Structure 1
């Protein structure tokens, strides 16, 4: 990001030329941000990265997101116009392999400052609790492996790192460092805001640790198997109905397997999410006499979300898990 400076009439010709170059670059950046407002133009691929940019950048940044509220991120399609605007951003934040359309657009954009959140914290391949999943179909489309360890090829790493506050804090540090590099004039503010956010995420981790310490069961069933990192962090067992793709249909064998798991592990609730259909969850719940509730993978915030931002929705997730798992 460049800042406009007034060049005195008596300045040397070389200095005038340098100032003109700076003004041209600033005008180019302003085109992507809706005007030469002096703010860093940041484009985030989806909500968790948008949230970090807004919390860390505050008044120094203007943040746009490729995934609008209510759009399921895995299914995002990007227009040529969006790809063009992407190339005008000062900083692009994305998570490689989560959204194939974004991966392609970023590669074509030519943006200098690109931050791949998948490089900011170690990714893992997650299984579930080890129950028999024979007959379950894998879902390796869009570069993903199945959260149960199956795929139409090698199992891929789980991208849902933001659902673990500890790993999300690591991503936040990387985003903060990227903003400092892109806009060194406000580095101190970015560093301060990053430290504050990391402290809040650390406190949230403690809330989850304490809140899920003593429960009647450690197993939960969810339509979208996005909670592998959360389950690992707090000693829980995730049983996903449909793998990482929340719209995919589970096999009859998988549904039968989940009925057995629910009975054996004293599961009381089948979780669904706000951005995908609850049809499968309600079908399984009806067949097993279980309740349904929301466990939000926080890929977007809408009017149906149980909270207005990341922290509010995560605390709603904690309350819903406590209720479902039988907190003692």
Structure 2
């Protein structure tokens, strides 16, 4: 007997395919006319993209302010966000080792990946290789470039240029936002530089190698580092050598981060009668640090206060 189910199968598939194609085309047109969908790897890039893009961008950060960029593992929602994005902003230099596979698995043909650290003068230290291996095409260097406000000038330029390329109709607005933000950034940098000039003792022990750029900008002295390589526990010998150095040289401040366990900084502080100051490498990591400028102020002022108190 002739089956009605079979009779209706052949026209439904073409109709369904046509309907899906129509809906996708409508969605694509809507995206072009609406805010640019942007995905960023870490919160500092979200803030910078929103500062320049204003109402013309819709930015999703894969990490929040409490997460560790070295140990992060992408979630299913990240795949969806990347699939819809026109731009993906990263720091680069092996900081986000998980990005390449995410882009390969979810990135569409129109997705542009922008490495915002390109052109920054890198600092090379003993923790250059954060995941234990160099990556082809990447310059070896400490990737925490955003902690120097001068590097943010370069990063902001890359972001602005990328937004203009995707949405040239708002070029003047993007350039105006960029210029206004650079003025605010310079004002904060001068304010903080003036504050740091008053410090009698500029030495501290770092939890991990996140702070060379900040230290260089504000003439601070990193006397030692607990974690020489991200994800690898320091040896007992290394910890003991740091304790002996702190006692001998009277180093009284240990800089840690809210994104990391406080166990080892607290151990060193207990053994040497030092003070642990907990900073944040990400906007939003500590209350009152929702923007990059808030985070920069918080870190520098908290560190200055700790160094003064220890003198």
Same fold? TM cut 0.5: yes
- Does 2:41 correspond to 1:59? no
How far off is 1:257 after superposition? Answer: 2.2
| Alpha-carbon spacing, 1:125–1:29, altered in 2? closer, same or farther (3 Å) | farther
Select 2:78's aligned residue among 69, 79, 82.
Answer: 82
Runs of 5+ unmatched residues, structure 1: 1-20, 128-137, 146-154
Indicate yes or no: 2:122 matched with 1:123: yes
Are the counterparts in 2 of residues 98 and 143 from structure 1 also a CA contact under 8 Å? no
Closer/same/farther in 2, CA of residues 312 and 80 from structure 1, 3 Å limit: closer
Given candidates 220, 223, 226, the residue that maps to 2:210 is: 226
- Matched with 2:143 is 159
Question: Are the equivalent residues in 1 in contact too, given 2:207–2:226 (CA < 8 A)?
Answer: yes
Q: CA, structure 1 residues 232+139, in 2 after alignment: closer, same or farther (shift >3 Å)? A: closer
Instruction: Determine which of 132, 139, 142 is the counterpart of 2:131.
Output: 142
Tell me the equivalent position of 1:243: 228
CA-based RMSD: 2.8
Count of residues in correspondence between the two structures? 282
Contact conserved, 1:29 with 1:89, CA < 8 A, in 2? no
Contact 1:28 1:88 in 2 (8 A): no
Q: Counterparts in 2 of 1:267-306, with a 5 A limit?
A: 267-298=251-282, 300-302=283-285, 304-306=286-288
**Secondary structure in 1 aligned to 2:205?**
strand
**By how many angstroms is 1:200 displaced?**
1.6
Q: Distance in 2 between matches of 1:169 and 1:105?
A: 27
Retained in 2: the 8 A contact 1:86–1:111? no
Report the alpha carbon displacement of residue 124 of structure 1 after superposing the two structures with TM. 2.7
Larger radius of gyration: 2
Aligned to 1:184: 168
| Change beyond 3 A, Cα 1:325–1:222 | same
2:87 to 86, 91, 94: 91
What do the CA deviations read for 1:169-214 (whole angstroms, capped 9, x no partner)?
2111111111111111111111011111111221222123212223
Gaps in structure 2 of 5+ consecutive residues: 1-20
Q: Pick one of 174, 177, 189 that aligns with 2:158.
A: 174
The CA deviation string for residues 89-129 of structure 1, in whole angstroms up to 9 with x for no partner, is 111111221111113222442444221112142333136xx
- Please report how far the alpha carbon of residue 294 of structure 1 lies from its aligned counterpart in structure 2 after TM superposition: 1.3
Provide closer, same or farther for how the CA distance between residues 276 and 305 of structure 1 changes in structure 2, counting only shifts above 3 A: farther
Runs of 4 or more, structure 1, over 6 Å off, are: none
Contact 1:54 1:63 (C-alpha < 8 Å) held by counterparts: yes
Residue in structure 2 matched with residue 13 of structure 1 by the alignment:
none
Alpha carbons 1:305, 1:313 under 8 Å: kept: no
CA contact (8 A) 1:270 1:281 kept: yes
Q: What is the distance in 1 between the residues matched to 2:201 and 2:173?
A: 44
Rounded to whole Å, the distance in 2 between the matches of 1:183 and 1:201 is: 25
Out of 268-277 and 103-112, give the one that drifted further: 103-112
Question: Given the superposition, is the C-alpha separation of residues 306 and 258 from structure 1 closer, same or farther in structure 2, using an over 3 Å criterion?
Answer: farther
Distance 1:89 1:102, change over 3 A: same
Q: Which has the higher helix share?
A: 2
